[in-house]
């Protein structure tokens, strides 16, 4: 059943609802045709026929940066030490073994795990386009279509951020692993991406893998493609200092300046990580209203560093959150980590309120993915909801009016009890309604691509 189709209009009674600025007890939310049609406060008890969601209900969470196949690395890359670059070699070994069928199975399981974590929309940064060696499948978008189908069958929305990845680094040809990522030129990438079609649950965006992976003279082609379609454009930016150093050697400027000079910044652009920025970089991002997606659990897992999230937001960049490599899939942990990492760096507390962190995980995350009509509990918005238990060992005790603070600073994905997408309950009482055994689906799909 398409996500925008509801068998019948449904009313959900929210024991406690986060309405953007505060927690409101007793809220009835009417839904029809996949959207919220009314939000009624002062409902002390569930209206007749309503589905009760007990706990704190938020708008659905948006995971703005995902590489679904990286989920197969969990645990494996925690053995021993190393850097981002040694981690990357293990990642390549998994990528080499994926086919459209095995990628579908893995992504379906990963997206089901996301639904269990309260995520209702994912931004999939997709660059695994072709067969090993770079041979095109009969359908050149077979791998992307596998991801779109996987999201639908897991019950969540997706923005497929089809990624241009053309070079091993500043003009060097792709290495053996990267041949499956490359279309050869940005023009050929655009021709292939043109064939992708949006669906009720799926929107199509673009991505520049990084300034090292797309030659400078072709950055504008990708940016123009996104601009002409008013589509999201994402880019890995300054994740490691080595990228900054190589960009200066090749072009005499930082990656942010290079993107700005080729028209790739702007309000539809999201820079992912943005860990190692200069003051000028921060000004370029903020003054152009370019968003920044922070992925704290991956950035700490790979020892990349702590990005200047507070500074970029203060300058004008909206923040979103992503689980990236899926060391964990927990948007509450991403939100908490952004604040706590900033505390460690500055040795002061309170850089973001719980409300601000929830906005990054909901409305601003959806906006970064091109779903401006999602991420709020108000009439007209998409009927995507996430309910967090307030009676678990992590969340029990605080007053209900502090439920947002409790969720962000003590709750976890394990506390998600219900997930509603387009008015349909995808997770009920902690169980996925479309994928009956998510742990087994994960174990089997990962075993199929493990070396």
Q: Report the chain's mean pLDDT, rounded to a whole number.
A: 95
| Biggest distance spanned by C-alpha atoms of the chain | 68
Percent of the chain residues past pLDDT 70, beyond the cut: 96
Kindly indicate the confidence band of residue 2, based on its pLDDT and cuts at 50, 70 and 90.
low
Asked whether the whole model's pTM tops 0.95, one would answer yes
Kindly indicate the confidence band of residue 89, based on its pLDDT and cuts at 50, 70 and 90.
confident
Active site residue ranges: 273, 324
Residue 423 has pLDDT above 90, yes or no: yes
Token couple for 168: 């091993």
pLDDT of res. 75: 84
Residues 6+ apart with CB under 8 A from 406: 56, 390, 395, 398
pLDDT of res. 78: 72
Residue 1 has pLDDT above 90, yes or no: no
Structure confidence by residue, pLDDT tens digits, 289-312: 999 999 999 999 989 999 999 999
**Weakest mean pLDDT among 78-82, 114-118, 130-134, 418-422:** 78-82
Residue 281 has pLDDT above 80, yes or no: yes
Give the CA distances from residue 351 to residues 127, 334, 420, in Å, rounded to whole numbers and listed in that order: 34, 15, 31
**Weakest mean pLDDT among 28-37, 69-78, 264-273, 328-337:** 69-78
Structure confidence by residue, pLDDT tens digits, 393-409: 999 999 999 999 999 99
pLDDT of res. 91: 80
Percent of the chain residues past pLDDT 90, beyond the cut: 91
Residues 6+ apart with CB under 8 A from 391: 55
**Given the DSSP bridges, would you call strands 269-273 and 291-294 parallel, antiparallel or unpaired?**
parallel
Residue 53 has pLDDT above 90, yes or no: yes
pLDDT of res. 88: 72
Residues comprising the chain, all counted = 451
Looking at residue 244, what DSSP letter applies? H
Whole-angstrom Cα distance, residue 207 to residue 195? 16
Structure confidence by residue, pLDDT tens digits, 120-178: 999 999 999 999 999 999 999 999 999 999 999 999 999 999 999 999 999 899 988 89
């Amino acid at each position: 059943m398409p996500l925008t189709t509801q068998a019948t209009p449904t009313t959900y009674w929210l024991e406690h609802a986060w309405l953007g600025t505060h927690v409101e007890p007793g809220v009835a939310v009417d839904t029809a045709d996949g959207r919220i049609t009314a939000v009624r406060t002062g409902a002390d008890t569930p209206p007749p026929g309503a589905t009760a969601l007990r706990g704190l209900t938020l708008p659905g969470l948006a995971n703005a940066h995902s590489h679904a196949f990286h989920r197969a690395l969990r645990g494996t890359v925690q053995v021993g030490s190393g850097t981002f670059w040694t981690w990357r070699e293990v990642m390549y070994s998994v990528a080499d073994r994926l086919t459209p069928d095995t990628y579908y199975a893995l992504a379906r399981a990963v997206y089901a795990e996301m639904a269990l974590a309260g995520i209702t929309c994912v931004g999939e940064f997709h660059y695994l386009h072709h067969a090993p060696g770079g041979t095109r499948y009969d359908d050149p978008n077979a791998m992307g279509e596998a991801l779109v189908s996987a999201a639908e069958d897991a019950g969540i929305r997706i923005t497929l951020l089809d990624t241009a990845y053309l070079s091993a680094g500043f003009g060097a040809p792709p290495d053996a692993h990267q041949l499956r990522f490359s279309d050869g030129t940005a023009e050929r990438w655009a021709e292939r991406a043109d064939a992708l079609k949006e669906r009720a649950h799926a929107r199509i965006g673009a991505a520049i893998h990084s300034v090292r992976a797309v030659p400078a003279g072709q950055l504008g082609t990708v940016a123009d493609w996104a601009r002409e379609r008013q589509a999201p454009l994402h880019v890995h930016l300054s994740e490691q200092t080595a990228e900054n150093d190589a960009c200066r050697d090749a072009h005499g400027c930082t990656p942010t300046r290079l993107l700005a000079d080729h028209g790739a910044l702007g309000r539809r652009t999201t820079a992912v990580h943005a860990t190692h920025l200069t003051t000028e970089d921060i000004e370029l991002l903020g003054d152009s209203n370019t968003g920044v997606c922070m992925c704290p659990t991956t950035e700490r897992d790979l020892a990349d560093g702590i990005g200047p999230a507070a500074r970029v937001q203060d300058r004008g960049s909206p923040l979103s959150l992503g689980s990236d490599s899926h060391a964990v899939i927990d948007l509450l942990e991403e939100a908490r980590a952004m604040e706590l990492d900033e505390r460690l760096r500055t040795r002061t507390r309170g850089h973001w309120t719980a409300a601000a962190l929830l906005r990054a995980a909901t409305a601003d995350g959806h906006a970064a993915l091109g779903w401006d009509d999602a991420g709020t509990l108000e009439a007209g918005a998409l009927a995507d909801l996430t309910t967090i238990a307030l009676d678990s060992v992590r969340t029990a005790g605080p007053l209900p009016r502090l439920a947002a603070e409790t969720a962000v600073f003590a709750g976890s994905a394990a506390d998600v009890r219900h997930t509603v997408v387009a008015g349909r309950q995808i997770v009920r009482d902690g169980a996925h309604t479309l994928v009956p055994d998510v742990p087994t689906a994960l174990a089997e799909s990962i075993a199929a691509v493990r070396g």
